[in-house]
Amino acid sequence: MKTKGLALFILAISQLMMALDYTIIFVAMPSLGEELGFSANHLQWVVSAYSLAFGGFLFIGGRLSDLLGRRRMFIIAMALFGLGSLLGGLSESQLMLIIARGLQGLGGALLSPATLSLIMSNFEEGAERNRAMGIWSAMGGVGLSLGLLLGGVLTSYIGWEATFFVNVPIALLAIAMAPIVLKESKISSKARSFDVGGTLSVTAGLLLIVYYLIQSPVEGWSSLRTVPYVIAGVILLILFVAIEHRSAAPLISFRLFRNRNLTGAALTAFLFSASFGTLYYFLTLYMQDVLHYSAVQSGFSFLPLTLSAFLGVRLIHILLTKVGAAGTIAAGMGTGAVGFLMLTQLSATGSAWGFIPGIVMIGIGQALVFTTMFIAGSTGIDPKEQGVASALITTGQQIGGAIGLAVIMAIISASLGSNATLETMTAAELNHSIHIAFRVTTAVTLLGIMVAFIALKQNKTANKENSMARV
């Protein structure tokens, strides 16, 4: 039991680190942008390089995890993530920092499916696994909000470099402990084969599409500089589908999509990132560019979000018992919708007290949705396909965040009716744009409620039995 406790600690802390790294950079960006001389357009690549690599390599990460061994891939991925973090903190040029962020994204793409698969193989099915799943996924929901607080403190008192260096000791600890506390698991040698054509086509296709989503708000949605990328990406994904239908050992078995829980979880992950995932960008803009808060003030302003996320985690087992996974996700989306509506009332001359009620509601909803979508998505999946299944959910999450932010920015640009950008707006104009963003996210969360009930219908008795030991 002691070894399993340490195994859960390592897997949970790894999930926390990945979630932290997604948001910790937002508060540090103004400081590192000024020090390294980033322009407004180029600064987005500090975030985009991570998202591009993470979203593009997820499926290959899931398959390699299944084939080469989940523990081995965990160690390799953690080493890449730690190396990227070290290089990021040491960066003295824009190019070096962007490469470091891409390396972190690659490490995350390999790490995410490996951690979930290791939970499946290291914890017995039933109460033990359900509890481990709950804690692992809860760390993701809590880490998203905790990253902003930690980012503000580290940037203000040590420097933006510390937001990278903080990952290094965690990575070293995980690498050292993994061979001792984690059991190896992989597909048997007789079943091992690698779908090279499928891997290359889906990885290249996702990279091109994510690149298009990242660059289009800057270059224009119909620009000749971006459109060829999305066309090529779509063609490659169509080719991928054709290859998979003919492959003897496909990268992704399309029968996985018959599992309504997995499909529903992937759709939920998409909508979760398109709504909750964009909060950090716009609320940081409000704090630093409208209210003119410092990095540390911004970080501490997110403390209520972090604390309410912990509260949300404690409510999960109650809701799962009473209303099941679909009801829990719908409750989380609904709670988030109320919070986003509250944030549409933010004032350009307000204070932190104005947004605290809204982010408390969002924090609770975020924990409910993030945790439950992974629990639901793992239901009924063959252990040898857990890596790919996890990659499917996380791909939905990554693509959803990119599309959500891009669509919101496009709506804001259309509403301005001019060439104004977020960087050139007055505080009042920026505040109005942020209101638009939160109206859009409210609509997305309402769509998430519909998806939960349509795609995640489950046996009520099974929900009760499974939820008793969760979280």
The identity of residue 412, as a single letter, is I
The enclosing H or E element of 168 equals helix 167-181
Cα distances from 417 to residues 126, 286, 437, in angstroms, run 56, 21, 16
Give the residue among 269, 300, 271 at the shortest CA–CA distance from 284.
300
pLDDT of res. 52: 77
Contact between residue 81 and residue 167 where contact means Cβ atoms under 8 Å apart: yes
Distance CA 178, CA 81 (A): 15
Please tell me whether residue 365 adopts helix, strand or coil conformation.
Answer: helix
Cα distances from 244 to residues 93, 199, 238, 257, in angstroms, run 42, 10, 10, 14
Give Rg (Cα) of the chain. Answer: 21
Please tell me whether residue 25 adopts helix, strand or coil conformation.
Answer: helix
- Nearest-5° Cα angle at 66, 123 to 468: 25
- Nearest-5° Cα angle at 380, 379 to 381: 95
pLDDT of res. 324: 87
DSSP 70-85: HHHHHHHHHHHHHHHH
Give the residue among 62, 29, 16, 14 at the shortest CA–CA distance from 280.
29
The enclosing H or E element of 254 equals none
Distance CA 103, CA 109 (A): 10
Distance CA 421, CA 443 (A): 24
Question: CB atoms < 10 A from the CB of 115, how many?
Answer: 25
Q: What's the CATH fold of domain 2-194+249-467?
A: Growth Hormone; Chain: A; (1.20.1250)
What are 7's two structure tokens? 């195994």
Distance CA 372, CA 317 (A): 10
Distance CA 95, CA 98 (A): 5
In the chain, the N- to C-terminal Cα span, in Å, equals: 17
The residue written with tokens 């290359």 in the block is 200
Contact between residue 153 and residue 93 where contact means Cβ atoms under 8 Å apart: no
Give the residue among 181, 184, 262 at the shortest CA–CA distance from 13.
181
The identity of residue 62, as a single letter, is G
Distance CA 205, CA 238 (A): 9
Q: What are phi and psi of 330, to 5 degrees?
A: -65, -40
Question: CB atoms < 10 A from the CB of 194, how many?
Answer: 14
Give the residue among 325, 298, 326, 282 at the shortest CA–CA distance from 430.
282
Q: What are phi and psi of 205, to 5 degrees?
A: -60, -45
The residue written with tokens 């919708």 in the block is 337
Contact between residue 100 and residue 87 where contact means Cβ atoms under 8 Å apart: yes
Domain residue extents for the chain? 2-194+249-467, 195-248
Give the list of residues 6+ apart from residue 42 with CB closer than 8 angstroms, or none. 94
Distance CA 378, CA 137 (A): 11
pLDDT truncated to tens, each residue of the chain (471 aa)?
567 888 889 998 988 888 888 788 877 887 888 888 877 667 777 877 887 788 778 878 877 877 778 889 999 999 999 999 999 999 989 899 999 999 998 999 899 888 877 887 788 766 677 678 778 877 876 777 788 788 888 888 899 999 999 999 999 999 999 998 888 766 654 555 667 788 788 888 888 887 887 777 667 778 888 899 999 999 999 998 888 888 777 777 777 777 788 888 999 999 999 999 888 888 888 888 888 888 788 778 888 888 888 888 888 888 888 888 899 999 999 999 999 999 999 988 877 788 899 999 999 998 899 888 888 877 777 766 666 777 788 888 888 887 888 788 878 877 776 555 666 677 888 888 899 999 999 999 999 999 999 887 554 434 444 443 434
- CA 86 remoteness from chain centre: 21
Residue 257 is classified by DSSP as G
